[in-house]
Structure 1
Amino acid sequence: MEILETAFMQRALIAAVLVGITAPAIGVYLVQRRQALLGDGVGHVAMTGVGLGFLLSTNPIWMATLVSVAGAVAMELIRAYGRTRGDIALALLFYGGMAGGVMLVNVSDTGSTADLSSFLFGSLSTVSDADLTAIALLAGFVVLVTVGLRRQLFAVSQDEEFARVTGLPVRALNLLIAVTAAVTVSVAMRVVGLLLVSALMVVPVVAAQQLTRSFRATFALAVGIGVAVTLAGTTTSYYQDVPPGATIVLLAIGVFGLLAVLAAPLARRRAKAAEATVTGECGVPGVRVPRDDVTV
């Protein structure tokens, strides 16, 4: 295949697969916690890290990771301890991060508007060997956390008070989710872009929820959708010369719309079957029988 003959597309496709895995993997917890826009805020803060990378002539991905992790920790602390002024503090952090990144890129000797655009919206041709190494290492961390600690992370995402009663370190797990989301932003910014990465964390998850009823199934299907749309979007971008980030996000939204249409009659059949089962078991229509599986 022609697309596999060029080195930069080989790197881009590998990066796309890693992004397709990691973004929905952490996104399923963010959606459960009703923090769907956390990735967007972290993306704004990561811009300062990109600017520092150019200013200090270091790899922008690693610098963006450090800054976005610090920003994510600050956001989680504001969420946990902030009161009436918490939203204002978050707004200042978001906008300050974006403005700081733009300013640092412009005053650096190595950065340019074109370089900045590649981080904001993604760029296939700019994924270097060093970038791919960084993306692979960071993606490994994300997968290790989201899969290895899935029970603990789901518990704290579902009900913090219950998790605290059971003895889980809720504060540490909350911080870990925020840090993992920040790392995912750094993984995805070369392919999807900082301004669109939050969509890839959320849309595959809500698309998967149209068909699934358990956490495990939602996790698996969301990752499958993520990999499919990132590969399809990257391939389309190569052949049609369109922005990869926008293409990937639009494909993900298209999958969501398709699954939503397909899920409507399925949901009606499930509702009728559940009502019939409940009536048969309890003799009282509308009384639900507790389920054993964990839903998302």
Structure 2
Amino acid sequence: MALDRLDLDVAPGEFLTLLGGSGSGKSTLLRVVAGFEAADAGAVLLDGQEIGAVPPHARPLNMMFQSYALFPHLSVAGNVAYGLKRDGVPRGERDRRVAEVLALVGLEGFGRRLPYRLSGGQKQRVALARALVKRPRLLLLDEPLGALDANLRERTGFELRAVQRETGAAFIMVTHDQNEALALADRVAVLEGGRLVQSGPPRAVYERPATRFVAGFLGAANVLEGGPDGAGGFGCPALPATLRPGTPVEAGTTACALRPERIALLPAPSQGPNTARGVVEEVAFRGDDSLLLVRTPGGALLRVGHAEEDGAPPPRGSMVHLGWEAASVVPLLG
């Protein structure tokens, strides 16, 4: 995917995640920063210095690939020390730095092992150690947790965050996993079609999506089409109902986002704004909650979260009455 007028900065010591669907430009951006691909226009700056003409091996950054790309014939220590050896770092200094970084990633005593004797999580740590041993100011990570199973992925993700804090290096991590991005990042940058569509702290981006794409991609919010009703609200024929956000709806607003977990089941019918009714078409148990698919009289299919502590969810075919707070309605302009 080509990048289109993308302008993004990363602060020293920041953990930034690039989030987006397949073909959104995440990995392309990472490769341009690393120097593996050349940009047709624009500039890549590091600490204010243009590095676009600097070859990849000479840039003061490093990249960790999804495949880990370990040398099978080299030991753990040999893999980690490879870049230092190539740069001519003396043996004593090399050994000291390898020992330090292996301790940092929790692999003390693994230096002599060959990669085939390691688990997936251990290989991931070796690749991380190899990327960190040269003490880069910026570390690029392309889906570094993608090859791990769910439980190991979560644990390794938190370990990765701890290492980032310990080293103080800036991290840019590409991921398509929304939960991973929200849990690990200081800031999330969402890409669509090669463009940066929204950037900000994870909670802010999740709770206040700027566009339909962000609302639907990050957390799968309900995106409700309609328009301003002239009285500060938003008319949605597909419910049919009036949505009334906490602030007046601007002219040009064509949709609103409403998160499933912000919709409550009401004990009795209500005719006011920010209410609706419908029939439960599907119920899916998800562990700590259930997801209801509710069909409204106007034809909208609402995703509704139902917490386990609120009791058993209503069965399929039930008529339910729904309500939500004004602050949960997010107008979308794009």
TM over 0.5: no
Q: Which has the higher contact order (CA 8 A, sep 6+)?
A: 1
In which range does the TM-score fall when normalised by the shorter chain?
A: under 0.3
After TM superposition, the score normalised by the length of structure 2 is 0.22
* Structure whose residues are more often helix by fraction: 1
